Chains A and B, each alone.
Chain A
């Protein structure tokens, strides 16, 4: 059964720092991996989608990498800003069940 884990559960950094959020999954048979942002009480905003054949995707200050064989993905945020404060969720499209399986998220706080 596919399981997705995100470490750390919470992270607090000063403004301007570069930071890395981690996501690991137990079964490497995935179709894709997607990173989402969730503001308190709100829905999910898609940040980056990485297909299983890709190694990384970039959007602005965000860069996501995927190492399918080791079951890991990282989300790199450059020059963090207070507006980046939110919960970041990763989710894998599981190859066996065709379902989108989520981690429990990393709560990020960027201090001004």
Chain B
């Protein structure tokens, strides 16, 4: 089966600019996750979708980050305006079950550099 697809792979922007990332999960996976991984740290959950509804966005900086999952398939994560500390790898993952007990499958990530 095809994996989790993410684009772009790399992005360099200036602070205060906006940026958007795209994710296409594995076909049939109802649950989609966005993670932020700062260099030298483990990934941290930003937002979790169940189909097209938000399950958990408690760690999403809502003043600048937004995400949507239209039609319960693809998802986009947006940052506006970006700050230097947003430099990180943004990982998308999906799982078949709503609980994620079947394990998570991650995409290759988008490496964002804010200068």
Contact = CB atoms under 8 A, between A and B. Distances in A.
Interface of A: 4, 31-32, 34, 36, 41-46, 49, 51, 89, 91, 93, 98-100, 102-105
B65 to A, nearest CB: 17
Nearest to B106: A44
Contacts of A4: 42
7 contacts: A4-B42, A41-B109, A43-B89, A44-B106, A46-B106, A91-B42, A100-B104
A42 B56 contact: no
Interface of B: 4, 6, 33, 40-45, 56, 89, 91, 93, 99-109, 111
A44 B43 contact: yes
Contacts of A93: 99-101
B17 to A, nearest CB: 22
Contacts of B105: 46
Contacts of A45: 106
Contacts of A44: 43, 91, 93, 106
Nearest to A42: B108
A46 B111 CA distance: 19
Given A42-B108, A43-B6, A43-B91, A51 B42 contact: no
Contacts of B89: 41, 43
